[in-house]
C-alpha cells in the first residue's frame, strides 16, 4: 500500500493528477478551499492506491508525494 501526501495549500486545482490516476482515486475536493482559493486534490481511498506515482509525475507544482 502506498502513502500519498498532498501539499494542499500549494495545489492550484488544475486536475492533471485526477486525469492521470489509472484507478480514479484522485479527486478535487470541491468542499474545501485552500489559501489560494482553489479546490485542492485529494485521494478517495488510499488503501486502493498501487503507488504508480502517475499523479505525482503529472503535477506541475510537485504537490504530491508518493511513498511505497
pLDDT tens digits, one per residue of 45-59 = 999 999 999 999 999
- How would you class 6 by CB atoms within 10 Å of its CB: exposed for 0-12, middle for 13-18, buried for 19 or more? buried
Q: Which domains does the chain have, with CATH numbers?
A: 3-67 (3.30.70.20)
Specify the pTM: 0.90
Residue 29 in grid coordinates? 475536493
Check if the beta carbon of residue 64 is closer than 8 Å to that of residue 55: yes
pLDDT tens digits, one per residue of 10-66 = 999 999 999 999 999 999 999 999 999 999 999 999 999 999 999 999 999 999 999
Amino acid at each position: 500500500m502506498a502513502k500519498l501526501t498532498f501539499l494542499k495549500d500549494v495545489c492550484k486545482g488544475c486536475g492533471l493528477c485526477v486525469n492521470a490516476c489509472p484507478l480514479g482515486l484522485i479527486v478535487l475536493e470541491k468542499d474545501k478551499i485552500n489559501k489560494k482559493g482553489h479546490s485542492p486534490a485529494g485521494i478517495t481511498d488510499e488503501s486502493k492506491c498501487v503507488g504508480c506515482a502517475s499523479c505525482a509525475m503529472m503535477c506541475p507544482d510537485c504537490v504530491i508525494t508518493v511513498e511505497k
